Amino acid sequence: MYMPNNPFELVPNAEAVANHTKQLHKDPPAPSTFSGRYTFILWGDKFEEETASIFAAELRRVGICVKVIGITGSALKGRYGLSLTPDLTLSQALPLAPEAACVIVPCSMAKLRQLQDDPRVGQFIAGAAANQAQLVIHHDS
């Protein structure tokens, strides 16, 4: 099973996402790893829709509970105009953070810096990290 050693692993580009997805096909995570836990995908305006949609679809396909978390409202458009409707708002997801197995943040480094302005994002990531959740960040190389 592929799991990064570093909880702050960076996924540099679409090719890395595709390779990660292929690895999931070959060796899906053991159910006990994610049993009763969530994989959260943070979703905001101009985030990387390719990364978000691939992770959401592929992880759900192998039976992992994935929730897309809207940082700033509903039906937000990605970098190339694709709209994704979040399953939960960030405020709704905050109490679930300790149940996270993984948090995926599909955005550029500039967008990631903007997230630091929202204290709820820090609270959410800290809550997930307290339970040793993996943090996967997509960024432009």
Give the whole-number percent of the chain exceeding pLDDT 70: 72
- Single-letter amino acid, residue 3: M
Residue 3: predicted pLDDT = 43
- Each residue of 18-53: pLDDT tens digit? 565 556 555 655 544 556 689 999 999 999 999 999
DSSP letter string over 2-18? ---SSTEEEE-SHHHHH
Instruction: Share the mean pLDDT of the chain.
Output: 81
| CA distance linking residue 141 with residue 125, whole number of Å | 23
Bridge-based pairing of strands 100-106 and 76-77 is unpaired
Ordered alpha helix ranges (H), the chain = 14-26, 31-34, 49-61, 90-93, 109-115, 119-129
| CA distance linking residue 3 with residue 138, whole number of Å | 16
Residue 75: predicted pLDDT = 78
Residue 1: predicted pLDDT = 34
Q: Does domain 8-138 have CATH number 3.40.50.880?
A: yes
Residue 89: phi, psi to the nearest 5?
Answer: -80, 165
- Each residue of 108-133: pLDDT tens digit? 888 888 888 899 999 999 999 998 99
- Each residue of 52-106: pLDDT tens digit? 999 999 999 999 999 999 998 777 899 999 999 999 999 999 999 999 999 999 9
| CA distance linking residue 109 with residue 115, whole number of Å | 10
